[in-house]
Amino acid sequence: MGYHVADASKLDWEERPPAVEGQQPRKAADVTTAAELKRSRGRVWRYPGGTRGRRHADKAQEEVFVVISGTLTMLLGDPPERIDVGPESVVAVEPGTPLQVRNESEEELVLYIYGAPPEQEGADFFDDVEL
């Protein structure tokens, strides 16, 4: 078949442990399997207000962040630069670039994150920072 549909209302959402102690867990839905992606990997994420992911740099994947709702705050580069973008915005991050996804607002952040190539060659992880 030449196409596949991943309907978020039918995906299984799994809790991901908080990146920072005391924060609510984030939730992720696997789009890679549902959409049968072969040349990229993808997940839809839900970040409750005031939560963040781990600061890291992927070794091989270009990552693309698509904001569905809410405001995405990203720390990009080293030293980190803060970028804030709203719905329908896209942030593309090259391999080797330190990044951190944050929801600095009180509203839920929903975003689609995908990376290519689909191979995972690991990531370097960095200490959390405050800006």
Is the CB of residue 51 less than 8 Å from the CB of residue 28?
Answer: no
| pLDDT tens-digit map of 58-72 | 999 999 999 999 999
- Tokens representing 81? 């630069």
With CA atoms as reference, report the closest residue to 86 among 100, 97, 107, 71.
71
Provide the 8-state DSSP code for 31.
Answer: H
Give the architecture (CATH level 2) of 23-125: Sandwich (2.60)
User: Cis ω on the peptide bond leading into residue 79 (within 30° of 0)?
Assistant: yes
Tens of pLDDT, residue by residue over 17-38, are: 888 888 999 999 999 999 999 9
- The whole-model pTM stands at 0.91
Instruction: Please tell me the distance from the alpha carbon of residue 64 to that of residue 3, in angstroms, as a whole number.
Output: 21
> Euclidean distance between the first and final Cα of the chain, in Å?
47
Average pLDDT, the chain: 94
